[in-house]
């Protein structure tokens, strides 16, 4: 016969209400009483019925996390922080991988009305006005991570300042021809993080009296191959850059691999700098901008829990700072020894 809450109350010598408060982490229980109830739960190996608990509390005990691309290293590190915060609160985590516009539209339309979760965390996805209206109508607490909307609590990094300081580092080394590899928009996700970084780069250059030429701006996919191809195009210019700053570590690593395949020395012939601070950037000794990825996920979910407990809480913008990780892929410029005009022939 299954153990019930009545058995726990009887063994602990308390009422059903006390057991319920302990199960729901209420603070209105004496520590000694709470310990007796917990001891009884362990002794009886009692597990609350999730359906019954959901009906009583009006909550599902589940949190939804929607991400734009699940396998991206940045996303995976953010999810580590999310998962850790979820575990502390004993919530179930449901992850939605929204790699296409149709998947995103279906999820953000259906999820608020299904009432299967107590809250929604959007990672690198900024919802449209029609989605905001659905969240509000369904009373679905929602928090953004790595994306900003004034109507929602948002946890972001200062991308503009990060781009500025990255470019300033290269300028301080003496570089004046600095190229920027930006990332392509992935579907209609309306996230502008990389463009904020570009704005910071342009600001730093402008302060130094330099205009970022259109030929020195590349837009590429966020993968290794695209980063490498963008680097080759930049090196084929009549006046190639002496430094390349990429909007992500993955793009920068792709550029690094391709440049070394051309028998060029980094950083003696060309400086390369990334953005994110992935673990692999440390292994490859890549100079990069370190984002607090784990902290973004952890803090984002904690803000969501606060909103679940207090649904009328006003939206807030939490802006985390980045740091420069200066390693050995950036150095003062030298005369470029390799002007790649026949790169396709060389690489093939």
**pLDDT tens-digit readout, 194-238:** 789 999 999 999 999 999 999 999 999 889 999 999 999 999 999
Amino acid 129: pLDDT: 92
Sorting pLDDT into bands at 50, 70 and 90, what band is 58?
A: low
Residue 64 has which token pair?
């939804």
| Chain-centre distance for alpha carbon 168 | 24
Lowest mean pLDDT among 60-69, 167-176, 313-322: 60-69
Instruction: State how far the Cα of 3 lies from the Cα of 275, in Å rounded to an integer.
Output: 53
Instruction: Check residue 65 and give its pLDDT.
Output: 96
**Confidence band, pLDDT 50/70/90 cuts, at residue 288:** very high
The answer to whether residue 57 scores a pLDDT higher than 60 is no
Domains of the chain, first to last:
5-56 (1.10.260.40), 60-157+293-321 (3.40.50.2300), 159-291+325-347 (3.40.50.2300)
> What pLDDT sits at residue 49?
60
- pLDDT mean over 323-341: 77
Whether pLDDT at 139 is above 60 = yes
User: In percent, how much of the chain has pLDDT > 90?
Assistant: 64
Provide the pLDDT confidence category of residue 284 given band limits of 50, 70 and 90: very high
Residue with tokens 């990389």: 194
Say which range, 24-28, 129-133, 175-179, 233-237, has the weakest mean pLDDT: 24-28
Give the residue-averaged pLDDT of 249-258: 97
- What does pLDDT average to over the chain? 88
**Percent of the chain surpassing pLDDT 70:** 89
Residue 30 has pLDDT above 70, yes or no: yes
d(CA 126, CA 54): 30
- Rounded to whole angstroms, how far apart are CA atoms 12 and 305? 30
Q: Which of 48, 60, 51, 127 is nearest to 92 (CA)?
A: 60
């Amino acid at each position: 016969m299954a153990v019930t809450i009545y058995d726990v109350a009887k063994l602990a010598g308390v009422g059903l209400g006390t057991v319920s408060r302990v199960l729901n982490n209420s603070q209105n229980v004496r520590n000694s009483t709470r310990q007796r109830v917990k001891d009884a739960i362990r002794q009886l190996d009692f597990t609350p019925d999730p359906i019954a608990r959901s009906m009583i509390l009006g909550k599902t005990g589940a949190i939804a996390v929607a991400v734009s691309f699940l396998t991206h290293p940045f996303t995976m590190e953010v999810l580590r922080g999310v998962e850790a915060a979820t575990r502390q609160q004993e919530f179930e985590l449901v992850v939605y991988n929204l790699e296409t516009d149709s998947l995103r539209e279906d999820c953000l339309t259906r999820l608020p009305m299904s009432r299967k979760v107590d809250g929604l965390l959007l990672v690198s996805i900024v919802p449209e006005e029609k989605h905001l209206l659905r969240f509000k109508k369904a009373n679905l607490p929602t928090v953004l991570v790595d994306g900003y909307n004034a109507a929602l609590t948002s946890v972001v990094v200062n991308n503009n300042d990060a781009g500025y300081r990255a470019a300033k580092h290269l300028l301080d080394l003496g570089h004046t021809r600095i190229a920027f590899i930006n990332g392509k928009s992935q579907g209609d996700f309306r996230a502008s993080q990389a463009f904020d970084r570009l704005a910071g780069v342009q600001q730093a250059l402008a302060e130094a009296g330099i205009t970022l030429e259109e030929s020195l701006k590349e837009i590429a996919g966020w993968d290794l191959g695209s980063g490498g191809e963008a680097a080759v195009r930049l090196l084929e210019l009549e006046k190639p850059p002496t430094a390349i700053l990429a909007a992500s570590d993955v793009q920068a690593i792709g550029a690094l691999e391709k440049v070394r395949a051309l028998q060029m020395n980094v950083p003696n012939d060309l400086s390369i700098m990334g953005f994110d601070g992935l673990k692999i950037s440390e292994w490859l000794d890549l100079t990069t901008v370190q984002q607090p990825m784990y902290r973004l996920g952890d803090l984002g979910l904690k803000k969501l829990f606060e909103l679940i407990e207090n649904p009328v809480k006003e939206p807030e913008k939490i802006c985390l700072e980045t740091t420069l990780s200066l390693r050995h892929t950036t150095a003062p410029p030298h005369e470029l020894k390799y002007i790649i005009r026949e790169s396709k022939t060389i690489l093939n």
